[in-house]
Structure formats: structure tokens, C-alpha cells
Amino acid sequence: MSKRIDISSDNGIRKPEYAEDIPEFPVTHKGVFVYQHQVVWGECDPAQIAYTANIPKWGLLAIEHWYRTVIGYDWYMLNLEFGIGTPFVSLNFDFVAPVKPPEPLEIFVTVAKTGNSSITHQVKGYQAKKQCFKGETVAVFVNATTMKSIAIPSNIKRCIEQFVSGQNDEHAI
């Protein structure tokens, strides 16, 4: 069982000195995972389209929501409660068409592959059924204190495998 982290200490937030698995989590999400984002004017540049740096930001936000939905914990809780970090070692985004308000942005998230300690996600952003961007990210599971890679913990791996077995991607890259 995990230990709760006291974030009220004067010394700031301290990471646990251990990395442990999450409790078993029943995967309830089946099929395509889609994160929706409403693009607003403040996220645009003078060309009246989304500011370029927001594209990877929205892709990563979609992946964090995937973690919360599929694994049951977001990056913050994985890091502080379980001592598990998932830093990115690779980000690759291609821009296909401009993203602009007021159309909602749908970001599809799939798992392309897993390794012993890594996970590769693919994200695709659409507005009005038109592809705007695609991306691929690779993250490595690490002990959050030592930043040394660890094998994907078994309950997390089980959640990922269950998701992958039921994922379908109607917007294949």
C-alpha cells in the first residue's frame, strides 16, 4: 500500500524514496480514447491560428488524461504517491492543417507499443473531422527520485495491455 505524501511541509514537496506499483485498477475504457479541447482565442497567434507550441502541449494533455482514465492516476499522483515518473525521451509532431477556434479539437490517443520500461503513444488532432496534426511520444518509466529506468510496474502494464487489446483506432496514422 502506498504512503501519502505530506505536501504541507516547509521543505516543499518531497518525492518518495521508493517506486511502487499502483493498486489493481479495473480498466473500464474500451475502444478509441478521445480527449476534447475547446480552442480559445488566447491560444492563438497573430495569424489567428493556434500558437504552434500549443500543439504538443495539447497532445501531452491528452496523454495525461489517458493515464487518468486508463491507469486511474495522473502523472502528479504517480510521481508523488507511487514514486513513478514517466519523462519523455522523444516527441515528434507533424502539422497537417491549422488549428483554430471555435471548432472543438478532438485528440485521439493510442498506444503504439510498450517496451520493458517504455511506452509509445500516438496522438492525432482533428477539427470538424479534418486531421490537423499527428504526433508520437516515447516515455520511460523511472524511479522519480533516482531518475533511473524501471520496468513498467505489473498493475500499470496490465492496464495498458487491457487497453491495447480493446483499442481501435478509426483515425490510423
DSSP state of 164: H
Model pTM? 0.85
Whether residue 28 lies inside any domain: the answer is no
pLDDT above 50 (res 5):
no
Alpha helices in 4-153 (DSSP H): 54-66, 75-82
Comparison of pLDDT for 113 and 12, the residue scoring more: 113
| CATH number of the domain enclosing 155 | 3.10.129.10
What total number of domains does the chain contain? 1
Whether residue 16 lies inside any domain: the answer is no
SS3 25: coil
Instruction: Quickly list DSSP for 102-131.
Output: TSEEEEEEEEEEE-SSEEEEEEEEEETTEE
Whether residue 38 lies inside any domain: the answer is yes
Percent share of the chain, pLDDT over 70 = 83
Whether residue 15 lies inside any domain: the answer is no
Whether residue 173 lies inside any domain: the answer is no
Which residue's entry shows cell 483506432? Answer: 169
Whether residue 106 lies inside any domain: the answer is yes
Burial class of 45 by CB neighbour count within 10 A (0 to 12, 13 to 18, 19+): exposed
pLDDT above 80 (res 10):
no
pLDDT at residue number 169: 56
CA 98-100-102 angle, to 5 degrees, is 150
Percent share of the chain, pLDDT over 90 = 74
Cβ(118)–Cβ(160) under 8 Å?
no
SS3 63: helix
Main-chain phi, psi angles of 101, to 5 degrees:
-70, 160
Question: What is the rounded distance in angstroms from the CA atom of residue 105 to the CA atom of residue 161?
Answer: 27
Whether residue 19 lies inside any domain: the answer is no
Whether residue 103 lies inside any domain: the answer is yes
What is the signed CA dihedral for 169, 95, 75, 118, rounded to 10 degrees? 70
111-170 per-position pLDDT tens digit: 999 999 999 999 999 999 999 999 999 999 999 999 999 999 999 999 999 999 888 756
pLDDT above 90 (res 49):
yes
- In which domain, by residue range, is 109 found? 33-165
